[in-house]
Amino acid sequence: MSVSRVGVVGFGLMGSGIVEVSARAGLDVVVVEANEGAATAGRERLERSLHRAAERGKIDSAEDVLARVRVETDLSALADRDLVVEAIVEDEAAKVALFRELDRIVESPDAILASNTSSIPIMKLGVVTSRPQQVMGIHFFNPVPVLALVELVPSLLTAPETTERARSFVEGSLGKQAIDCQDRAGFVVNSLLIPFILSAIRMLESGFATAADIDRGLVLGAAHPQGPLALADLIGLDTTKAVAESLYEEFKEPLYAPPPLLARMVDAGLLGRKSGRGFYDY
């Protein structure tokens, strides 16, 4: 059963990227946001990205892609979807509540209910539904239109057919590359990436080196495209902290514990690029 009708919950940075790549692939997309203000902001973000893609010759017409996207503020608009991807705040309670609602609203018993979570175990989302065999993680990376990787994360209860349909959607429809991950906090990429970023924050916190020198060292000395602190600003320091907390809760290893500096910056609203200031000013 192929996926032709895609639903996305959340029209923020990640949600708008998932909407964009799905619509660019010719799929019918409905995206739901909590209120009109957030919906308008998401549509404006999507329009800017599509117009840039058109200017660079990546797509023929931004308007043609936008015509395949419908923006709503009521979850009931997702009733007829073949696949719904959750891309809301990285908060377990909020995601659990949403999956209960999606289970009630999405009509097709074969529909895939997917989460774009960075770290929350998929099992916790699947068991609150009546169809855990249709629930799995489909984890995209920011910026979604640019980065090719998607992590596929089935839980112990996810049906093999669900995973293969998700793989067909990711690789066949979207043209991305999928890797298979076990359902453990952080999956593959964040289990490796977050301790690396936290180590850089601890180095800065201790006065060992400046932010600029830490990042320059990894860019020039290890051929990284950007340094770990600049990457944390791009991810969002609140998201970085949330993923670290999920990893620490599951494994209780010190390398996953958020450093005090990260916690203070999040408390101060210094979240990186999206707030205009993090380890650097934007």
How long is the chain? 282
Provide the pLDDT for residue 131.
98
- Considering the domain boundaries, does residue 103 fall inside one? yes
Structure tokens at 88: 């809301």
Provide the pLDDT for residue 4.
96
Query: Which is catalytic among the residues 33, 151, 155, 191?
Result: 151
Claim to verify: residue 207 and residue 79 sit in the same structural domain: no
Provide the pLDDT for residue 39.
94
Is 139 catalytic? The answer is yes
Whichever domain contains 199, its CATH number is 1.10.1040.10
Provide the pLDDT for residue 169.
98
Query: Which is catalytic among the residues 116, 119, 139, 246?
Result: 139
Report the run of H or E that residue 83 belongs to, with start and end. Answer: strand 83-86
Is 151 catalytic? The answer is yes
Q: Is the peptide bond before 228 cis (omega within 30 degrees of 0)?
A: no
pLDDT digits (tens, 9 = 90+) for 267-280: 999 999 999 999 99
Claim to verify: residue 144 and residue 204 sit in the same structural domain: no
Claim to verify: residue 215 and residue 103 sit in the same structural domain: no
Q: Would the CA dihedral through 206, 210, 216, 221 be positive or negative?
A: negative
Q: Which of 117, 149, 180 is the last residue of a domain?
A: 180
Between CA 273 and CA 253 the distance in angstroms is 29
Structure tokens at 118: 């960075």
Claim to verify: residue 231 and residue 176 sit in the same structural domain: no
Q: Which of 118, 148, 180 is the last residue of a domain?
A: 180
Claim to verify: residue 206 and residue 73 sit in the same structural domain: no
- Considering the domain boundaries, does residue 238 fall inside one? yes
Cβ contact 120:126 at 8 Å: no
Query: Which is catalytic among the residues 115, 173, 190, 246?
Result: 190
Burial class (CB in 10 A: 0-12, 13-18, 19+), 118: buried
Structural domain boundaries, residue 196:
191-273
Claim to verify: residue 133 and residue 205 sit in the same structural domain: no
Ranges in the chain, pLDDT < 70: none
Claim to verify: residue 217 and residue 165 sit in the same structural domain: no
Is 118 catalytic? The answer is yes
C-alpha distances in angstroms, 250 versus 24, 114, 184, 187, 262? 37, 21, 8, 12, 20
Provide the pLDDT for residue 156.
97
Place of tokens 């964040």: 190
Claim to verify: residue 146 and residue 264 sit in the same structural domain: no
Q: What is the tally of structural domains in the chain?
A: 2
Other beta carbons within 10 angstroms of residue 270's beta carbon come to 18
Is 33 catalytic? The answer is no
Claim to verify: residue 34 and residue 103 sit in the same structural domain: yes
DSSP track, 150-165 = EEEEE-TT--HHHHHH
Q: Which of 156, 180, 204 is the last residue of a domain?
A: 180
Provide the pLDDT for residue 118.
84
Which residue, 92, 200, 85, is CA-closest to 144? Answer: 85
- Considering the domain boundaries, does residue 186 fall inside one? no
Query: pTM surpassing 0.85?
Result: yes
- Considering the domain boundaries, does residue 278 fall inside one? no
Query: Which is catalytic among the residues 22, 118, 191, 246?
Result: 118
Which residue, 77, 76, 102, is CA-closest to 87? Answer: 102
Largest CA distance in the chain: 56
Other beta carbons within 10 angstroms of residue 51's beta carbon come to 14
Claim to verify: residue 162 and residue 196 sit in the same structural domain: no
Claim to verify: residue 50 and residue 125 sit in the same structural domain: yes
- φ/ψ of residue 218, rounded to 5: -75, -35
Which residue, 203, 84, 179, is CA-closest to 135? Answer: 84
Provide the pLDDT for residue 262.
98
Claim to verify: residue 161 and residue 216 sit in the same structural domain: no
